[in-house]
């Protein structure tokens, strides 16, 4: 441990933040060098640097809002994303850039051309590729400090608990209501908060569901006869999942860092066409 700390101090340098204050910085290149030399993960180096008040440069612009301790906690956290298409792909990107240390990504689907209009990971060159494999490649290029678990399976009642176990938050990247209920049930059984999100046309909604909350029943009614969504009729322009996924990830941050004002027992509704947004009290 002392050797690691010595290496981090040795290779750090003084830089100036946008507000003019100086700070000790550690570049991503030096993080990788130290990790390789000491046969440990780059995430371990980044956490130890933060605990030593040395800023991994890739997170410097996070710290004014999240803080050094908050950034270290994000690196120590794990988030599960069920569905890595429109909502889930954008959530993945944001969580990687925030510096969440571990992700479990679950999706049994492959990319098709109709995904390109809104799914961040989808490109004309990767048609037919497994979504979780493209997600893994994206993670390696954006933030190699994030440990990624990928599951190329369809989420079901029988396999969800095992795949999301150990996560601190579960993110809803799904497009069907029955699977959402299955995820909510698995998350509640493990005591994990679940950040629901859904989109239809220029409309979107977000609600964070804690294990003791009623949850999706407040939105969709009885699981046996849920109220259907409008996505199949209204489609999904790219701006809506981008906005909704951003709100979902903001909720993830609040849960992981213990912040107040989580969107709980109320539904945050966005209408980007008017635009109008607001809360619906679900309690």
- Residue 97 is encoded by which pair of tokens? 């850039």
Whether 74 contacts 103, CB under 8 Å? no
Domain at 77-281, CATH from 3.40.50.300, 3.90.1150.10, 3.40.50.720, 3.30.70.2740: 3.40.50.720
The SS3 assignment for 246 reads helix
DSSP 95-149: HHHHT-SEEEEE---B--GGGTTT-TT--GGGTT-BHHHHHHHHHHHH-TTSEEE
pLDDT value, residue 233 = 67
pLDDT value, residue 229 = 66
| Domain extents in the chain | 2-62, 77-281
Residues whose CB is less than 8 angstroms from the CB of residue 279 and which lie 6 or more positions away in sequence, other chains included:
263, 266, 267, 268, 269
pLDDT in tens, 126-157: 999 999 999 999 999 999 999 999 999 999 99
Handedness of CA 36, 37, 43, 44 (dihedral sign): positive
Q: What are phi and psi of 216, to 5 degrees?
A: -60, -25
Whether 103 contacts 139, CB under 8 Å? yes
Helix then strand then coil, in percent of the chain rounded to 5, is 45, 20, 35
DSSP 20-39: S-EEEEE-HHHHHHHHHHHT
Average pLDDT in the 42-66 region? 97
Average pLDDT in the 15-31 region? 96
pLDDT value, residue 3 = 84
Residues whose CB is less than 8 angstroms from the CB of residue 20 and which lie 6 or more positions away in sequence, other chains included:
none
In which band, very low, low, confident or very high, does the pLDDT at 223 lie, cut at 50, 70 and 90?
Answer: confident
């Amino acid at each position: 441990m002392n050797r690691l700390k010595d290496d981090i101090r040795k290779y750090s340098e003084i830089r100036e933040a946008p507000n003019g204050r100086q700070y000790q910085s550690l570049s991503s290149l030096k993080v990788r060098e130290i990790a390789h030399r000491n046969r440990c993960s780059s995430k371990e180096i980044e956490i130890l640097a933060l605990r030593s008040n040395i800023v991994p440069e890739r997170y410097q612009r996070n710290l004014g809002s999240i803080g050094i301790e908050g950034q270290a906690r994000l690196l120590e956290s794990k988030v599960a994303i069920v569905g890595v298409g429109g909502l889930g792909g954008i959530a993945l990107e944001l969580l990687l850039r925030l510096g969440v240390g571990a992700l479990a990504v679950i999706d049994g689907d492959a990319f098709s051309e109709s995904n390109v209009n809104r799914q961040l990971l989808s490109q004309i060159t990767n048609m037919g590729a497994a979504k979780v494999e493209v997600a893994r490649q994206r993670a390696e290029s954006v933030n190699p400090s994030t440990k990624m678990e990928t599951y190329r399976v369809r989420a079901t009642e029988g396999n969800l608990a095992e795949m999301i176990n150990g996560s601190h938050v579960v993110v809803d990247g799904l497009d069907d209501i029955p699977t959402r209920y299955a995820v909510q049930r698995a998350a509640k059984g493990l005591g994990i908060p679940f950040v629901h999100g859904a989109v239809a046309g220029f409309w979107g909604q977000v609600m964070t569901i804690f294990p003791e909350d009623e949850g999706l029943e407040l939105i969709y009614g009885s699981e046996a006869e849920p109220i259907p969504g409008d996505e199949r009729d209204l489609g999904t322009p790219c701006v809506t999942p981008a906005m909704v996924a951003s709100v979902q990830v903001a909720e993830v941050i609040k849960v992981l860092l213990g912040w107040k004002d989580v969107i709980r027992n109320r539904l945050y509704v966005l209408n980007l066409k008017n635009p109008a947004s607001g809360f619906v009290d679900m309690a």
